[in-house]
Each structure stands twice: as structure tokens, then as C-alpha cells.
Chain A
Amino acid sequence: MDPMNIAGIGVLCSHGRGVARFEQALNESRVPSTAPASCHRIPSEVLEDREVLWDIRRADRFSKIAVLGAYDAMRDGDSRDGSVGIIVCTGLGPHATTFRFLDDILDYGDASVSPTIFSHSIHNAAASYIAKILKCTGPTLTVTQFHFSFQQALLLAGAWMSEGRCEHVLVGCVEECGSVMESIYGYKLKVGTNSGMHLSACGNKSSTGLGEGSVFFLVTSDPARRKYGVFSDVSLDGEPCVEERPDLCIIENDDATVDPGIPIVEFSPIFGHMMTGSGFQCAAAALMLRNQVAYACPSSDVSDGPNVIVETKPMAIREILCIKYDCKRLRSCVKLNK
């Protein structure tokens, strides 16, 4: 894969909107005081941006979360390029809107449902709004895969740039909390089976609820626009990444094994569990590379091992691996370099 330089990041989570807020949450290892299995919900005022959202004021919450993250990444990257490609990945999509549409069917019957709710329940509504707001006429894709959506999206972004389909790609992930999914999550957490939803994380799995938010990266082949480091490799079998010795690993699973000499960390207690949470982990990695700071593992349990980073401190960081396993023990690995 050709290197993908990170020119801009937009991030939105329960701690607020923007890179600075996310950075502050990482810096303070701030874990919201939520009860187990509850949702790290984005405060409603964070989604009130009349300037950006005016044209899509009737859009659902999922779309607004997506648009703000994408908009911020483009602005952070100082880009107004209308030919940028867009790849939105999501695990669960606008499921809350889907259930609202099912409410309509159950309450009013098949012939009396809302076309507005239906059109927002379609997975790519958010990407459509992103393209409209940012005036992007390049390829626009929404993809889903429950375990490695973000990793697959990065691979595709790299392929698009390699074949000259796009010079720049806005690639990111979006998830939304909803009451039904919270109930499903609670049930799955209780039974703790190989459920298809990733429940475990480095640290205290029982204290981390579902998360919601969006994170977008504006990636480019132009190294002069590199602002946060570079995605230098993505693998879905672990082979290329493990040959080198990173300065730090972000491990999304409790039971992952790495060389005991490599510091490890994981940040999902800050923003919550999401099927596409790898995007947020990579945003944290990009900030660590830019700031040359190792952020402490929030809610870390010392019993996890001596190499867990328990204190935020300056560190010379050249390379970070973000590793995730799926339920079948297939491994993905995203390598970021300074």
C-alpha cells in the first residue's frame, strides 16, 4: 500500500466536537461516569451547528454526526477539493432511524409511513449529505463490515489513490447509540458469548458501554500536506505489520498478545465500544505521533500486564500499530508512522 498522509482529522464523540476536545479527553484519560452497558452519548448541543447543518436540518441524528465529523476533517486539512472521494464505514448504520420507521409501520400501517424517515433509514443517507454539504462529486461509498470496516475502508482508500481514481480521500466511520442496540448490547454483555459484537477491550470491559460518534481522516498522497503522520500499512492477516517492532501498540482486545517489551494502550473507555471504534483508536494514534506523547490507558487494570501505559508522558514515537482481532481470531493491523 502506498503511504496515505493524514492531512486532516474531524472527530465527534461524547466529549464533544473537534480534535482539541478529543485530545483533551485523551490527555486527561477522562472516562465519563456512565453506568455499565450504557451509552457514551454525544450531548445534543454538540450537534447544533446552524451554519453547517442548516441545509440538512431535517436530517436524522446519524447523518448529522457523520456530516460534522467529515466537515471538520476537510476544514482541518484546509481542503475544498470537490473531487475528493468519500468512504463512510459503519457497523450498525442508522439503526435508530430504521426502528423509527418500523414504529411507523406498526403504528400506522404499510400505507401510511413517513417517506422522510424511510429515506434517512437507508445506510448511505449520511454519505449523501456529506457529499452535498462539502460539494464533493467524487466517488461516494458507504460500506459495512462488523469487525474490520475501518481497516477495509483504509485499504480501499489506498487502492483508489494508487490507481489515480482520487488524489484525496475522506475516509471515516460513524456509529449512533439507540435504545434497542443498548438493550442488545446489555444482553450480549451479560451472556458474554462469541456474539459477533466486540465487547472486550484492554482494561475494564464491564465498565465500558456503547459509544457513538464519528471520526474522519482526510488522506492524501501528497506528503507536503501531512499534518498527523501517515497510514503506512494495513493488513488483515497480521503478516506485514508484525515484522517490525513498533514503539507502541494500541490493542483493541483483552486477550491479544504482543511482545512484553512494547508499551500497549487502548482508549475505548473514553469514547465507548463501537464496531468501527478502530477509527477512533487510529485518531488517538495520529495525535500521539503528532504530539510525541503517550497517553495513558484509561481505566487500565495493572493486572493487564506491566507494559500497559498507566501515565501520560512525553515519548519519542516513530511508529504505532493498531491491532484488532475479530471473534474468529483473525487479526487486523494498521500501521501509522510519524
Chain B
Amino acid sequence: MEVGITGLGVLSAAGSNMHKTLETFRQGKRNAGPVTLFFTSLSYPVFEAKSFQPVKDQNQMRSLGLCLRAVEEALRSAGFWDGLATRRVGVCLGTTVASQLNDIEFYKTYRDSGKVLTEPVDRYLHGNLAGAVASVLKTQGPSLTVVNACTSGADAIGVALSWLRAGLCDVAIAGGADELNRVPLCGFGSLGILSDSLCAPFDKNRNGLNLGEGAGILVLETEKSSQARKKKVSLWLRGYGAANDAYHLTAPAPEGTGLEKSIRLALSEAGIGAQDVSFVNAHGTATQDNDRVEGAVLSRVFGKKVPFYSTKGFTGHTLGAAGGLEAAFSAAALYEGWIPQCAGFQTLDDGIAIAPTRKKTTVTGHYAVSTSLGFGGNNVALVIECVKFDGAAPWTQ
């Protein structure tokens, strides 16, 4: 069964929608700064989505607010102006922060007095990301929140692909969302993988990642559904490969066996070879381990001729949102025919041997691969195809 990508929605420090994000990429702007969203004694630079102002009732459900904003853009670009009520729509979203009751004030009150503050609890119990989005949109179909750490967004897209192929729904809203939050900031700080300067993916002198926040959403649709509403489709989700390293809780397998397996599975599912791929939107967090392993695998699978880059230098690492954002970026880049510079990269690392893009680069061809690696040994690859026709871009202008 063919599954089209009929809508895209993004929100991050790089822009409040796809149009503005592409402009940021063109200009090479990096909108990082100190944490302003909450108090912390840590001084790492972060990528906050400054353009996002939550509506009142989403004030303390920032991940949900980010998600709904991107969902709105994706649905509008898909042409679902009038809602989805009569369709079978699945909602599959990845997150990390929105799955946890990690409200420090709630816990401090409980710890100090034994008192249960009901508002944070109710917020948590009604804030399951996919459930809440399905409730807002009144969808009738499967809904599931994927909590697979940094591959959550990409895995959610893969789950939605399986749903559509299995006939469980005709349309799926898939991707991920995560807010910048004090708890993971402290956690990543404790792991020693946060950079105290702007991140430099794949660079010889990289010294860690910057956290970010955002949401990236794809509207996926069966060909039958898009044909029925006379929607022309230029972007297609062709393959999803997922594999576990079965190696370590926090470190990738040194040889990158899981990542390589996931890429080859996705290519096989798409029915293409590595030589057919125009570019790779890499995970590229700018940590020592990730970039060394990922660079080696990309070199092994694609050789030196397929351009690759990471967008983490523009968005920071948005955790559960990253896979959704980067799938959307890959789709837009295929459609536009250019990929951005790998922001932050300057010096080739001899241990990686291949270099990402140093500047905005024109690309030709029809296929892109987006990779995601995650805590827990997860590896995901998505294959997207673009068959362009004359008409408006599949995102709102």
C-alpha cells in the first residue's frame, strides 16, 4: 500500500512553521541562548522556541501546545480545513517529557507535606500526548504515544505507517513533540554530554549537544484516501527500518550494527539501493559517540558521494520531537531541491572520514533518508520519496 505525506508542520527555535524554518536554514541563523523558560543553575546554551506563546490552558502543558501548533500547520497544509470528523484518523506521537509526571513543585509539596496537588496530577493524567491530540481533534482511530527516547518521533511515524498498511486508519497524524524542561537538562548535564558552546555536529572539535524544543508533524494518508479527495501527492513515505543494538543503555554499539541494519531495512522496504539516495538528514547530535558511530555507518552504507548533514545546529536536540522534525525537514528539502549547511561543522574529523555539507547545497534525485538514534540502543531510518508536480508546496506559505 502506498502512503503519501500530504501535510507537514514544524515548530522549533528555527522557526514557527516550515516556511520560516527554511528561511532560517537559508540564512544559516542559529537562534540559541541561555535558558529563560525556567530557573536552573546550569548555563548551557539551549534552543528555545521563542516564537511559541502557549494559549492559557496550555500554559503548563508546553509539549502539548507545541504539538498542537505543528498539527494545525500540518492539517492546514494537507487541506483538512474543515476537520477530520468523518475520517478514520490515527494519532501516533513521540515524546519524552510529556510522558512523565516530573513536576518539581508538585513533588516538592508532596515530599514536604504529603499533600497531593491535584492540578498537576490531573494535567498529567489528561495530558498523554497522542490521547490529548486525538481528544482535541475528536479523531476516531488508534492513538498511541511512543516513548522511545530520541527516536520517539521517527518511530511514531513508523508506527503510523504500519497502521495505514494494516487498514487501521486512512489518515494518520504522526511525529513528535517535546518541550525544553529542567529535568532532562539536569539529566543530560549529569551524563556529561551537553556542550557549553554551540553544538558542532560531526566536527573534529565537537564537545556535546545543545537541548532544544519543538514539534514536527507529518500527515500520512493512504493513496486511496488522497485520491478520493482529489489531493495531489508529491511526497511519499517509502520505508521505515528499526533495529536495536542490544548493547548498552546509553551508548550506541561501537560498530553501529543497529543503525546499519535499520538503514538497510528501510532501503529494502523502499525497494531502492544506497546509490538512489539524494541525501541523508543525519541524527548528528554532536556528541563524540553518536557522530563517530553514525559517520562510520553513513560512510559504509552510502560512501563519500551522498551528501549528509544534521539540523541539530539549528534546532538543538529536541529529543522526542527530533525524528518528526527531521522527517519533515527531509521531505521539504527533497521538494525544494536543496539541503542546508550542517551548522556548526568546520573541521573534518579523521575518525569519521566523511564531511557533512558546509553550505547550502543543491540536490537532485527522488529519495532522502532520515536517521535517528536513541538512548536504549534504538536506531531508526525513514525513506521519503518526492515525485514533484507543478503546484503549491506541501506546506503553508
Q: Which residues of A contact B (CB under 8 A)?
A: 1, 82, 86, 92-93, 95, 98-99, 101-106, 109-111, 113-115, 118-125, 127-129, 131-132, 134-147, 152, 155-156, 158-160, 162-163, 165, 180, 183-184, 187, 195-197, 236-237
Contact = CB atoms under 8 A, between A and B. Distances in A.
Given A123-B96, A123-B147, A138-B243, A145 B128 contact: yes
Contacts of A95: 100-101
Contacts of A156: 144, 159, 162-163
B286 to A, nearest CB: 19
Contacts of A121: 100, 187
Contacts of A196: 122, 125-126
A123 B162 contact: no
A152 B91 CA distance: 12
Contact of A141 (B159, B165, B192, B257): B159
B294 interface: no
Nearest to A142: B147
A124 B258 contact: no
B262 to A, nearest CB: 9
Nearest to A1: B166
Interface stretch (B79-87, B301-309, B343-351, B375-383): B375-383
Contacts of B247: 132
B130 A135 contact: no
A110 B143 contact: no
Contacts of A127: 148, 376
Interface stretch (B15-23, B103-111, B326-334): B103-111
A106 B182 CA distance: 12
Given A119-B191, A162-B166, A165-B162, A131 B377 contact: yes
19 contacts: A95-B101, A99-B107, A103-B111, A105-B183, A111-B41, A113-B190, A122-B376, A123-B96, A124-B147, A140-B376, A140-B377, A145-B145, A146-B125, A159-B162, A159-B166, A159-B168, A163-B165, A195-B122, A196-B126
B245 interface: yes
Contacts of B183: 98, 101-102, 105
B162 A128 contact: no
B148 A142 contact: yes
Nearest to B41: A110
B242 interface: yes
A103 B144 CA distance: 30
B155 A144 contact: no
Contacts of A184: 116, 121
A187 B375 contact: no
B40 interface: yes
Interface in B163-201: 163, 165-166, 168, 182-183, 185-192
Interface string B123-149: 001101011000000001011111111
A326 to B, nearest CB: 9
B287 interface: no
A170 B22 CA distance: 41
A195 B119 CA distance: 11
Contact of B116 (A139, A160, A183): A183
B248 interface: yes
A240 to B, nearest CB: 12
A133 to B, nearest CB: 9
A142 to B, nearest CB: 5
B244 A110 contact: no
A86 B246 CA distance: 12
A98 B130 CA distance: 21
Contacts of A102: 102, 104, 107-108, 183
Which 3 A-B pairs rank lowest in CB-CB distance, beginning with the nearest? Answer: A196-B125, A128-B376, A118-B187
Contacts of B126: 196
Contacts of B397: none
